[in-house]
Amino acid sequence: MVKRIDHIAIAVHDIDEVARFYTGILKLDLSGVEVVTEQKAKVGFLKIGESNIELVQPASDDSPLVKFLETRGPGIHHICLEVEDIEKEVEELKKQGARMIDEMPRPGAHNTRVAFIHPKSSGGVLIELNQLPERH
């Protein structure tokens, strides 16, 4: 089950530089800046109610984000939907013939587990599914 939009991700060259607009003018708080090694990305979150804007920046020269920024420039990179059970969701997508970038969930930011759906299957937009860690 898809629960909500967790975040909309914007690819940027420099999180700190772009964040000035969001924190300085829109008065949002930037938090959770971290490098997600598995995705070769540095990420930071701007919380807006139940959702976030995620700023994503390449963390290394071989990050897939480098190519994205080169060919398309900064802008919306993906939309992330929170799901209740990511294993089940990925299985169902594969069964229905959706093209997956991740055949299996993998580690995401903040101890989430994530899987990306190929834009070919979702109207040209990269979709990330995530499952939040259990709250204790």
Residues in touch with Zn ion (CB under 5 A): 9, 54, 80, 128
The radius of gyration of the chain from alpha carbons, rounded to an integer in Å, stands at 15
| Residues, the chain | 136
Select 9 or 18, whichever has its Cβ closest to Zn ion.
9
CB of 7 to Zn ion, least distance (A): 6
* CA–CA distances in Å: residue 70 to residues 22, 39, 56, 73, 74: 23, 18, 14, 6, 9
Select 80 or 90, whichever has its Cβ closest to Zn ion.
80
CB of 78 to Zn ion, least distance (A): 6
Q: Rounded to whole angstroms, how far apart are CA atoms 59 and 64? A: 10
Q: 41-48 and 51-58: which strand pairing?
A: antiparallel
Residue 74 amino acid letter: P
Quick one: tokens of 23?
């924190």
Select 24 or 47, whichever has its Cβ closest to Zn ion.
47
CB of 21 to Zn ion, least distance (A): 19
Select 24 or 55, whichever has its Cβ closest to Zn ion.
55
CB of 61 to Zn ion, least distance (A): 21
